[in-house]
Structure 1
């Protein structure tokens, strides 16, 4: 066993604090990774607070991990000691169901779906036989720690053109927005709308622009209009009735990145006939959709969940090639609870990324 340390929450109402634990040694098909940076995702907050009613405590978050390989199992050929690699939301899947066989591990239909990088299975505890995952671990601990051990094929290569701290959020925010744009065929010249302009929305706008699309972001925050202009896209306030009306039936694709329940009806109206609005931010029940706006124009409303391994590698390489990435602020891990509060309060214009070299600092 490997002695490890990280930051974990022991209850839904408790702060993240230093937590010592053990990880299993790397098996023949696994790699051991010394974590350098880990992004802070809004879903980390949802999970820590048990807002999806499936959290297993202690909960040690982190699924935007970048680090160096320190050990490889005997069967590993794709990585070597010293390689810089990334680990996203998944560290395993059943590997035998139809989605897994066709490269869509994020839609694994095995008994407990894919194995999450932290918090074990991504299904409600009530749906599992014993409330635990069945991949040989009682609970998985994520990247808010000094070391992780994962199957080699679930570790992605970090391109030389990406700074490691910038690469970290791409492993979730990047692929979560890239995957639906790829699936629904966004291409150069398309008019693409991005609903919400936080961490996901920022990456979505940058990726769509790099694809050659004409990008509009929709926000409720006036100050973010300047940020949209800075990255070269159009910004629109959602309550600007005149502008919203003028945009009716004009978009080829709209991606909603808001991480909580919201009303998508104002945006359905903006789609052209036969076009799609996809939700990739919220995972809870949404307000009902006015089906007359859907049916009379043969529009579609869809959902998308993170991205598969191939898409994750693609977007890492794409961001390196096009010199794009999230705006990040690197923080010490003992500031994580302050970072959570800032995200909840909406006081963030960037993605927080934890420098795991700061683990030796004392708790607040």
Structure 2
């Protein structure tokens, strides 16, 4: 519905108004279509740990009200005058960013996520043209600049595909950056929303995948997802025997922990890539790096790489393991997510918003 006076779209969704408040129904306006915009009717939105952290201001700086959600899929309902590559009815997606300068060196390399002038997050970001705060996908519609709209390939289930827009690209990007392929030996630390996608993607790329975990009860799931081995990080003898064995360690654990515990497992000039934790890590000893082992981090991918990931998942029939929920159950989902009580990703069915 468009307001005839302002040309804005009336939207409904769920928002939180303070860090200690639950998400609740929220009515707001989306901007009217600019010449380069696409209006998307949202069918599904995945739930990410970042949604919970932002809603509860765990990282500081949250701007309320917060409408979370950056794993968005839906259908095009209208386009601006200058948009020719999308049409009504197209299956599309929006990930973690909705704008970047598109002029800096990083943007020119397809690294909009690392825009030197700051990319604009799908929620809680500052819109570059009018300064408004962006609202995410826990809503019935969204208006986004065409360059940041992605296509959902035929064959990918819309609902199940939603977490690919964050969990998928967050794990795909470092695997590609570190040249994972046939013959690679990859260890994945953690088997949650990110970790299970890391296992699936690395295995599909041809790598031999080992899941690093503290308990043996993860073994059946790890193998079902594509891992060949499991390594108990609590088994000192097994960890010592596995030294110098891996070409890459993908660390998906979302809370601060002693990451240097895993460094001896790497071969020379190979990397442990942190994709889960954002926070102050326990103090590390630099001796863990002296074997020319690398400790680094990675965010999401750029637009072209995200589209590449979606196409790869369609070709390889890779989808996240999801639990579909109603919009009204989102607060319970947050509580369950904090207890790791989900296998492996929640997705909201936006039809329930009505």
Q: Give the TM-score category using the shorter length.
A: over 0.9
Corresponding residue for residue 84 of structure 2: 77
C-alpha distance in structure 2 between counterparts of 1:288 and 1:103, whole Å: 34
- How many Å separate the matches in 2 of 1:259 and 1:138? 30
CA distance in 1, matches of 2:17, 2:226: 43
CA distance in 2, matches of 1:135, 1:27: 11
Partner of 2:106: 99
Return the alpha-carbon distance in structure 2 between the equivalents of residues 302 and 289 of structure 1: 13
Q: How does 1:287-298 map to 2 (within 5 A)?
A: 287-295=282-290, 297-298=291-292
Shift of residue 138, structure 1, vs aligned partner: 2.1
Give the unaligned 5+ runs of structure 2.
1-7
Cα distance in 2 for partners of 1:8, 1:147 equals 14
| Distance in 2 (alpha carbons) for counterparts of 1:287 and 1:188 | 34
Q: How many residues align?
A: 346
Are 1:8 and 2:3 counterparts? no
Structure-1 separation of matches of 2:25 and 2:312: 36
Are 2:131 and 1:117 aligned?
A: no
Residue number among 157, 163, 171 corresponding to 2:157 in the alignment? 163
State the alpha-carbon separation in 2 of the partners of residues 36 and 143 from structure 1. Answer: 10
Tell me the equivalent position of 1:229: 223
Aligned with 1:258 (options 250, 253, 261): 253
Q: Distance in 2 between matches of 1:99 and 1:283?
A: 22
Question: Offset at 1:311?
Answer: 1.1
Q: CA deviation at 1:220?
A: 2.8
**Partner in structure 1 of residue 3 of structure 2:** none
Q: Which residue of 1 aligns with 2:5?
A: none
- CA deviations on 1:234-262 (whole Å, 9 max, x unpaired) are 22222122221211110001111111211
Please state how far the C-alpha of 1:286 moved relative to its aligned partner: 1.5
Task: Find the aligned partners of 1:289 and 1:214 in 2 and give their Cα distance.
Answer: 28
Match of residue 40 from structure 1: 47
Q: Structure 1 length normalisation: TM-score?
A: 0.93
Equivalent pair of 1:7/1:16 in contact (CA under 8 Å): yes
In structure 1, the partner of 2:146 is 152
Question: Are 1:299 and 2:304 an aligned pair?
Answer: no
Report if aligned partners of 1:225, 1:236 keep a CA contact under 8 Å in 2: no
- In the alignment, structure 1 segments of 5+ residues that lack a partner are 122-132
CA deviation profile, 1:83-124 (whole Å, cap 9, x unmatched):
0000000000112211112210000111xx100000114xxx
In structure 2, C-alpha distance between the alignment counterparts of 1:292 and 1:205, rounded to whole Å: 29
2 CA distance for matches of 1:193 and 1:199? 16
Give 1:263 deviation, angstroms: 1.0
TM-score, scaled relative to structure 2:
0.96
Alpha-carbon distance in structure 2 between the residues aligned to 1:22 and 1:144: 14
Q: Equivalent residue for 2:305?
A: 311
1:272 is aligned to: 267
Instruction: Judge conservation of contact 2:187–2:250 (CA < 8 Å) in 1.
Output: yes
Partner secondary structure for residue 323 of structure 2: strand
> Partner residue of 2:186?
192
Provide the C-alpha distance between the structure 2 equivalents of 1:317 and 1:219, rounded to a whole number of angstroms: 30
Alpha-carbon shift at residue 82 of structure 1 (Å): 0.4
**2:256 is equivalent to residue 283 of structure 1:** no
